[in-house]
């Protein structure tokens, strides 16, 4: 089915997304500079853009920048005075992202912080709350990142977590893959934490069979 999933994603992109020079240049620059092709798909990027706009987000937090493909979609959802903080472990990824964000004309709105996301989050004091949080980094830390999103958010903050299905891998209760263990720890946390309402939606398409968590801080 994989080819047909890709073909339908191509159809959706053709009908609803249109040509986008900055995003196309981002993907080719990422490839040229050796970044892995694990960005969200175009349709998923537009979904993030729409969710952030529906939330009326003025302050966005992203965990896991890579080359800034999802960052560009999210930054475009912000009003003129809106700001996005994005956290990235790898200095090379952050450098490539900076180029891509500049080309896309959104770098003034985006603050890339280099280092482990757990450290960067730990250094962030509760201030102006984040309205929207997109979590897409090392999957073993997802439960911790959601806890930090709650701490740095407010009642009504939207949280999206990428890659929570992994071709059904989430069902493997005795997996020794840290990413699966981390994803299951995330579901355990979500099922027990009274501070959130959450669901998860499976997806197929250019990124094969995967899914995302959508949650709202109560
Ligand atoms: N959100 C991006 C894709 C992110 S890929 C997009 O859709 O375009 C995951 C990124 O998380 C990688 O760049 C990886 O270097 C980064 N990452 C992995 N572990 C991390 C950590 N502990 N702290 C911060 N970033 C991390
Ligand atoms: C991986 C990470 C992602 O964020 C993604 O969307 C797909 C794959 C990975 O680490 O393999
Ligand atoms: Mg992802």
The string of DSSP letters for 66-113 reads TTSHHHHHHHHTS-TT-EEEEEES-HHHHHHHHHHHHHHT-GGGEEEE
Residue nearest to atom 17 of ligand 1 (CA): 137
Residue 1: per-residue pLDDT: 77
- Using the predicted structure, report yes or no on whether residue 81 has a pLDDT greater than 80: yes
Residue 203: per-residue pLDDT: 98
DSSP 58: S
Ligand 2 close to Cβ of residue 158 (< 6 A): no
Residue 50: per-residue pLDDT: 98
Q: What is the largest CA-CA distance in the chain?
A: 47
Share of the chain above pLDDT 90, in %: 98
Residue 158: per-residue pLDDT: 98
CATH number of 2-217: 3.40.50.150
Residue 63: per-residue pLDDT: 99
Residue nearest to atom 5 of ligand 2 (CA): 38
- Using the predicted structure, report yes or no on whether residue 2 has a pLDDT greater than 90: no
Q: How many CB atoms lie within 10 A of CB 129?
A: 16
Distance in Å, CA 139 to ligand 2 centroid: 8
92-121 tens-digit pLDDT: 999 999 999 999 999 999 999 999 999 999
**Are the C-beta atoms of residues 131 and 74 closer than 8 Å to each other?**
no
Ligand 2 close to Cβ of residue 65 (< 6 A): no
**Are the C-beta atoms of residues 132 and 107 closer than 8 Å to each other?**
no
Task: Give mean pLDDT, residues 187-216.
Answer: 97
């Amino acid at each position: 089915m994989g080819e047909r999933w890709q073909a339908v994603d191509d159809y959706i992109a053709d009908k609803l997304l249109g040509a986008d020079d900055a995003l196309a240049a981002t993907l080719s620059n990422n490839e040229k500079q050796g970044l892995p092709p694990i960005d969200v798909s175009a349709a998923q990027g537009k979904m993030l853009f729409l969710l952030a706009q529906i939330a009326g987000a003025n302050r966005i937090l992203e965990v896991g920048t890579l080359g800034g493909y999802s960052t560009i979609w999210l930054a475009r959802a912000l009003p003129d005075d809106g700001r996005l903080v994005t956290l990235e472990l790898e200095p090379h990824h952050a450098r490539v992202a900076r180029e891509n964000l500049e080309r896309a004309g959104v770098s003034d709105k985006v603050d890339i912080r280099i280092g482990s996301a757990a450290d960067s989050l730990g250094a962030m004091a509760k201030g102006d709350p984040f309205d929207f949080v997109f979590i897409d980094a090392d999957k073993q830390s997802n439960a911790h990142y959601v806890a930090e999103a709650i701490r740095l958010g407010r009642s009504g903050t939207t949280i999206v977590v990428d890659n929570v299905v992994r071709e059904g891998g989430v069902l493997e209760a005795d997996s020794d893959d840290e990413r699966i263990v981390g994803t299951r720890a995330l579901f355990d946390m979500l099922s027990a934490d009274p501070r959130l309402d959450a669901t998860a939606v499976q997806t197929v398409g250019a990124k094969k069979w995967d899914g995302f968590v959508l949650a709202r801080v109560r």
